[in-house]
Chains A and B, each alone.
Chain A
Amino acid sequence: MLISKQKPFEEIMGYLNGEKKIFLVGCRGCAEGWESGGEKEILEMKKKLEENGKVITGYALVDMLCDKALAALKLKNYKKKIEEADSLIVFTDGAGVQVVSELVKKMVHPGCNTISSGGGHAEWKGAERCMECGNCVLEYTGGLCPIARCSKHLLNGPCGGSQGGKCEVDPTIPCVWHLIYERLKEIGKLDKMEMLLAPKDWSVSLISGPPVKRF
């Protein structure tokens, strides 16, 4: 069970600067259980966003958003509504956000912070797994996680050892910052990489936070 918590509404609104039409994605799995992205929360969020001048082109709930094949199948039904939208917000853990980013060539905002993976690592096995850092940065990185995938957990772009798309630490590992660069370029959001990201608050992370589950 992956445990996520909705980001503060003001933070989410900050992400939507200049974007009017939004498509929402929730999950009937863990996010419903933890009341961060089930149908109830998605409808509440829809209302709140509409009150704040946004147009919701539609919303989808996937049974297991971290299952890439299932998510692809489900989101196909909403192709037109997703195309109409300026961006998407995904309300579930980091793995689910990464699934949607991978499937949709559009800006995908994370709506939640992942507090803990509760011992599980989602259905989408692989390097994209979430490291439960508690303060999701996928907003700035094109839906690819530098906390989980960069050998140095960098937040401001690739180090000097990125060569030919590979990480200096191991030539079989892709440099995630290279992938982030390509993804942001593809969706026309390279400005995200020009922003100076401040030092991360690791106190909410299981990597260096207290050795307890905070839920």
Chain B
Amino acid sequence: MKTKSNLERVLSAGHFAVTAEIGPPQSADPEVIRKKAKILNGYVDAFNVTDGQTAVVRMASWAACLIGKELGLDPIVQMTCRDRNRIALQMDILGISALGISNVLCLTGDHQKFGNHPQAKGVYDVDSVQLIKIVKDMRDEKKFQNGEQMAYEPRLFIGAAENPFADPFEFRVLRLKKKVEAGADFIQTQIVYNVEKFKNWMKMVCDMGLNEKVKILAGVSPIKSIGAAKYMKTKIPGMDVPDEIITRLQGVPKDQVPKEGIRICVDIINQLKEIKGVAGVHIMAIEWEETVPEIVEAAGLYPRPKF
């Protein structure tokens, strides 16, 4: 074991892992996080808090993670390169490890143009692949990016994201390979609705033997409404929502749509469980965290392993 991460323990023991995402508030209210963390408690092996998702100012990921940690959950700090240069990134890496946090997810970050401060200057001093390597060198070599040594290393289970639905499709698996070579221990993917395309990608992943080197958690998300499904299909870059998902939602009475959205999510999880190389799921129930326990139970993933 490289760290004290519960997620690492669950994955090392060969269990099908479950993680979920919490969106932090656009305020300083800790109760929002406590409420969401309590819902997830016992149903997930670890929880993510997004880092200024879609470039909107929200509570810092590490701070919200600490609130969840106090309630006994294993946090995954999301860290983007959009707002921090290599100096700030390394300071935060030392800081979160000192706070007893054991997981970090290294991301490039949504472009500032999409957020509520589009006038901001993007940083992008390093990219996500380079950030993974920085954390890995800090942990395993006790080395800062400039080559200097440190006395006490951060002990972090290193995560990265990958989007099998972005282009160029054939490069996506090579990009994953780069992240693995840089030092990623686990991957959380973009939300999977197009299971067939995801299967093709996973086959390429397994053909390259990457599933032996990194734990891949497939992203899933329940859809609340037909409007949301259409919005994701047409407006969100890098999202692939097949027509049959929308047709299925349209096939039920209006008041039944959210329930159907949850059922679709459970069906997708059940299909993902059968795909070679998938080590778990990451549930992104955006502003709908209360559905996570129901999804986990319905997918036969409850109770979670205890150590």
Contacts and interface: CB of A to CB of B under 8 A. Distances in A.
A181 interface: yes
Interface in A119-154: 151-154
B168 A160 contact: no
A212 to B, nearest CB: 21
Contacts of A161: 110-111, 166, 237-238
A159 interface: yes
Interface residues of A, number: 30
Contacts of A153: 124, 127
Contacts of B129: 155-157, 196-197
Interface string A32-61: 000000000000000000000000000000
A78 interface: no
Interface in A89-107: none
B175 A157 contact: yes
A164 interface: yes
A143 B106 CA distance: 28
Contacts of B237: 160-163, 168
Contacts of A10: none
A194 B179 CA distance: 10
A111 interface: no
B168 A162 contact: yes
A160 B178 contact: no
A197 B129 CA distance: 9
B24 to A, nearest CB: 21
A161 B166 CA distance: 6
Interface string A144-188: 000000011111111111111100110000010010011000000
A160 B175 CA distance: 10
B206 interface: no
Contacts of B125: 199-200, 202
Contact of A152 (B122, B166, B178): B122
Given A159-B108, A168-B237, A196 B133 contact: yes
Contacts of B108: 152, 154, 159-160
A162 B108 CA distance: 13
A181 B113 contact: no
Given A168-B111, A181-B168, A181-B171, A160 B162 contact: yes
A182 B171 CA distance: 10
Interface residues of B, number: 35
B124 A152 contact: yes
B167 A152 contact: no
B126 interface: yes
Nearest to A170: B113
Contacts of B145: 199
A175 B238 CA distance: 13
B86 interface: yes
Contact of A156 (B111, B175, B190): B175
B174 interface: yes
B167 A162 contact: yes
Contacts of B175: 156-158
Contacts of A204: none
Nearest to A151: B111
A198 interface: yes
A16 interface: no
Given A152-B124, A162-B238, A202-B125, A157 B174 contact: yes
B111 A163 contact: no
A193 interface: yes
Given A194-B174, A194-B178, A175 B163 contact: no
A197 B174 CA distance: 14
B60 interface: no
Name the residue in A155, A160, A169, A182 with the highest tally of chain B Cβ atoms < 10 Å from its Cβ. Answer: A160
Given A156-B129, A162-B238, A199 B86 contact: yes
7 contacts: A152-B81, A153-B124, A162-B166, A162-B168, A162-B237, A163-B237, A190-B174
Interface of B: 81-82, 86, 108-111, 113, 122, 124-130, 133-134, 145, 161-163, 166-168, 171, 174-175, 177-178, 181-182, 190, 237-238
A-B pairs, top 8 by smallest CB distance, nearest first, are A160-B163, A168-B237, A156-B129, A161-B237, A199-B126, A154-B127, A152-B124, A160-B238
